[in-house]
Structure 1
Amino acid sequence: MTLYIAREASKLWRKVCMETSVEIQLLMEKWRLLLAGLVFQYVHGLAARGVHYLHRPGPTLQDLGFMILPELGQERGYISESLFTFVFLTFFVWTFHPFVYHIKRFYTVLLWRRILAFLVASQILRIVTFYSTQLPGPNYHCREGSKLARLPPPESLTEVLLLNFPRGVLYGCGDLIFSSHMIFILVFVRTYHKYGSKRFIKLLAWVTAIIQSLLIVASRKHYTVDVVVAWYTVNLVVFFIDKKLPEMPDRSSGSQPLLPLSAKERDGKSREEHNKLLNGNSVDTADRRQRLQMNGKHGEDGNHIHSESSMNGT
């Protein structure tokens, strides 16, 4: 039993090391875009911090969701954040499952490059909307009489640049239309719906997104309009950007190379095959044999069967 565990652990370690080396090579190639996406997360937080200085508390606007859903209040407001944190962490861990499991449909680096593109595009639209019109925040700490509803003028640039995480995020006001929590939730759900493999989890993910929407309204973090706008805006953004981005190689087929070919390598390979055709040279025997095998036809087996039939007089 101990020998079996040691052997399996050794296999797992070799697999993790091999997968890590592949992902590092991809990271070295795509690190600029990944870094830009991560830096923009700070820019988005800085924009939310800035609009808090402009926030003016006032009477809570009439809202259909507030009429239907009872307020969770300060004591139970953690429920919404707890669900969001759970979804965020489980999705983050899932994106690294190709390091361990044999079923690998994507490269982790390429997947996060795609996710950050969706997030950045949605967050740019969000910044434009909540700076266009500032609404009075409906959360308890954003209402009239609360000391947290308005930020005093900053005494230095450093005070603005320091986001006071996580307190500054949890107690922000003014960045309402549309919900940042729903941006992350919908991007994660749509990504798993496309690249995940478990139907039940896909269904559960969409149900969780609906529950998260209701909890956001019930906790009065956002108006209902903030959640509704997020639903159709984020889905449209993901749909159109996903069409523009080059599709990732499907690793589950087993026919894709360990690393995707770069544009230069693809052009060189196409040019080499084109020159062979112009010179009257056929494709290499090894390539032809491999293609015949992929098509379910083996030339050597066919000749062997034909010779046996001739010898038997059939």
Structure 2
Amino acid sequence: MSLYIGREASKLWKRICAETTTEINLLAENWKYILGGLIFQYVHGLAARGVHYLHKPGPILQDAGFYLLPELGQDKGYISESVFTSVFVSFFLWTFHPFIFKTKKIYTVLLWCRVLAFLVASQILRIITFYSTQLPGPNYHCREGSKLARLPHPDNAFEVLLINFPKGVVYGCGDLIFSSHMIFTLVFVLTYQKYGSRRSMKQVAWLIAVIQSLLIVACRKHYTVDVVVAWYTVNLVVFFINKKLPELPDRTSGVSPLLLPVSISDKTAKNKEENHKLLNGNSVDPADWVQTGASYFDLFSSSELLNIVTYSGMTLFLLLFSRD
């Protein structure tokens, strides 16, 4: 028995080492996309913090979900957060399963490049939306009389940049349309729907997404419109970006990974070569017809991304410091 355990442990260790080497090589090619996506998570938090300064508590708006779903109460708010945490942790662990299990269908680094692309695009739309119109928050700490409903005018820019994590994120107000929790939940579920291997788990994932939606409204963390808009917006974002991004290589076929990004010059040269073959009457290798698409930085070039972040920051500080 001890010999068997030792042999299996040795195989597992070799598998982990081999997988780590592969993923490090992929990370060396794609680190700037991972880093850019992670930095934008901070930018998103900064924007949510900024809109809290603009929030004005008022009467709760009429909402169909509030009439249909019983209010769980302030002391039951942890239920919604617990479901979201379980979704986040389980998806995060699943993306690293190739390090342990033999059934390797994905590359972890390439998958997270894709996930971060979905998140960044959805969060850009979310920032534009909740800065367009500030609604009175339905959450308990955002209602009139709560000390957290209004934030005092910041003394300096450094106070805004700190975000006050995690309290400032958990007790934010004003960043309503559309729900950030549903962005993460739907991106994770849609990604597992495409790259997961167990049908039963896919069905459970969609069920949890529906339950999460109902809990968010029942806990009065968002209006129903925040959840509804998230459902169709995130699905559309994932659908269109999937058409732009290169398809992840299937590891079971033994094909070498397609490293991100596919440069525009390489794609142009490849297209010219295919056209030349067709004009000369030569057949094109069917493998060459596989669409590699563009990396998510092809959607937003470095200069465009820098402009977006710069203009967003300028707009945020003008809104904050131009108010009396």
TM-score > 0.5 by shorter chain: yes
- Which structure 2 residues correspond to residues 180-191 of structure 1 after superposition, within 5 A? 180-191=180-191
* Matched letter for residue 92 of structure 1: F
Q: Check the 8 A contact 2:26/2:259 in 1, yes or no.
A: no
- 258, 261, 274: which one aligns with 1:260: 258
User: Distance between the aligned counterparts of 2:68 and 2:142, measured in 1?
Assistant: 21
SS at the partner of 2:202?
helix
Structure 2: runs of 5 or more not aligned = 278-324
Tell me the equivalent position of 1:171. 171
Name stretches of at least 5 consecutive residues in structure 1 with no aligned partner. 278-314
Instruction: Give the equivalent residue in structure 2 for 1:15.
Output: 15
Q: Taking structure 1 as reference, are residues 248 and 59 closer, same or farther at Cα in structure 2, changes over 3 Å only?
A: same
Offset at 1:104? 1.0
For 1:99, the equivalent position in structure 2 comes to 99
Query: What are the residue-to-residue correspondences of 1:44-55 with 2, within 5 Å?
Result: 44-55=44-55
Residue 163 of structure 1: how far off its partner (Å): 1.3
Distance of 1:11 and 1:242 partners within structure 2: 36
Contact 2:105 2:195 in 1 (8 A): yes
- Tell me, in whole angstroms, the C-alpha distance in 1 between the residues paired with 2:185 and 2:48: 18
Counterparts of residues 1-314 of structure 1 (less than 5 Å): 1-254=1-254, 256-257=255-256, 259-260=257-258
**In structure 2, what is the equivalent of residue 310 of structure 1?**
none
What is the alpha-carbon distance in structure 2 between the residues aligned to residue 46 and residue 182 of structure 1? 19
Provide the secondary structure at the position in 2 that maps to 1:77: helix
1:109 CA drift (Å)? 0.2
Structure 1 stretches of at least 4 aligned residues deviating more than 4 Å after TM superposition: 261-264
What SS does the corresponding residue of 2:205 show, helix, strand or coil?
helix
Distance 1:179 1:158 in 2: 27
Amino acid at match of 1:175: D
Identity of aligned residues (%): 73
Distance in 1 (CA, whole Å) between partners of 2:13 and 2:32 is: 29
Q: Deviations over 1:244-268 (max 9, x none)?
A: 10101011223x12x436858x88x
Structure 2 counterpart of 1:260, one-letter code = L
TM-score (norm 2): 0.80
Question: Which one has the largest radius of gyration?
Answer: 1
Give, as a single letter, the amino acid of the residue that structure 1 aligns with 2:92. F
For 2:35, what is the secondary structure of its paired residue? helix
What is the alpha-carbon distance in structure 1 between the residues aligned to residue 140 and residue 193 of structure 2? 35
Q: Distance in 2 between matches of 1:73 and 1:150?
A: 21
Q: What is the CA–CA distance in structure 2 between the aligned matches of 1:206 and 1:9, rounded to whole Å?
A: 35
Report the Cα distance in structure 2 between the residues aligned to 1:104 and 1:252, rounded to whole angstroms. Answer: 7
User: Could you list the per-position Cα deviations for residues 223-248 of structure 1 after superposition, in whole angstroms to 9, with x for gaps in the alignment?
Assistant: 00000000000000000000110101
